[in-house]
């Protein structure tokens, strides 16, 4: 039995990226009064979904070994994208941080983080149960 299956790997990656997003959002909030500061956004959901590709619908089939593989991938190779928030309104001092929307993003991220942690706990509990019943 493989304890570290794709589900657990995906949950682990999601938790790691949610922690990174938390740090980025708190950095945005800390710089909300810094002139010229551009709010940053961290995206990882699409690249994680491509790496999971459970149904095989996001990968292209190749008929020649010289073709490039597109889609699929390894969860361990998923990297988040960090970029300036394109939706930010610029204040007179050039700052693009909207504290209210950052707090909303922080709360949403915390809910998703907590959900991923709970799912990891349930997955580990199920694994422990299965291993205990195999004796």
> Phi and psi for 121 in degrees, rounded to 5?
-60, -45
Is 84:39 a contact under the CB 8 Å cutoff?
A: yes
pTM: 0.76
Ordered by start, the domain boundaries in the chain are 6-133
Query: What contacts 37, CB < 8 A, 6 or more positions away?
Result: 31, 94, 95, 96, 97
Closest CA to 67 of 59, 57, 75, 78: 59
Q: How many CB atoms lie within 10 A of CB 107?
A: 11
Per-residue pLDDT of the chain (135 residues; tens, 9 = 90+): 566 678 888 899 999 999 999 999 999 999 999 999 999 999 988 878 877 765 455 455 566 666 555 555 567 777 888 999 888 788 999 999 999 999 999 999 999 999 999 999 999 998 889 888 866
């Amino acid at each position: 039995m493989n304890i570290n299956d794709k589900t657990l790997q995906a949950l682990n990656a999601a938790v790691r990226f949610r922690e990174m997003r938390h740090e980025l959002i708190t950095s945005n909030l800390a710089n909300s009064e810094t002139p010229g500061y551009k709010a940053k956004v961290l995206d990882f959901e699409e690249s994680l979904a491509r790496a999971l590709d459970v149904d095989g619908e996001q990968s292209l089939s190749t008929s020649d070994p010289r073709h490039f593989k597109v889609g699929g991938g390894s969860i361990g190779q998923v990297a988040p994208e960090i970029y300036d928030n394109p939706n930010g309104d610029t204040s007179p001092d050039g700052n693009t941080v909207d504290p209210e929307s950052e707090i909303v993003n922080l709360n949403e991220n915390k809910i998703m983080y907590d959900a991923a942690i709970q799912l990891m706990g349930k997955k580990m509990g199920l694994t422990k149960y299965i291993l205990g019943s195999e004796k």
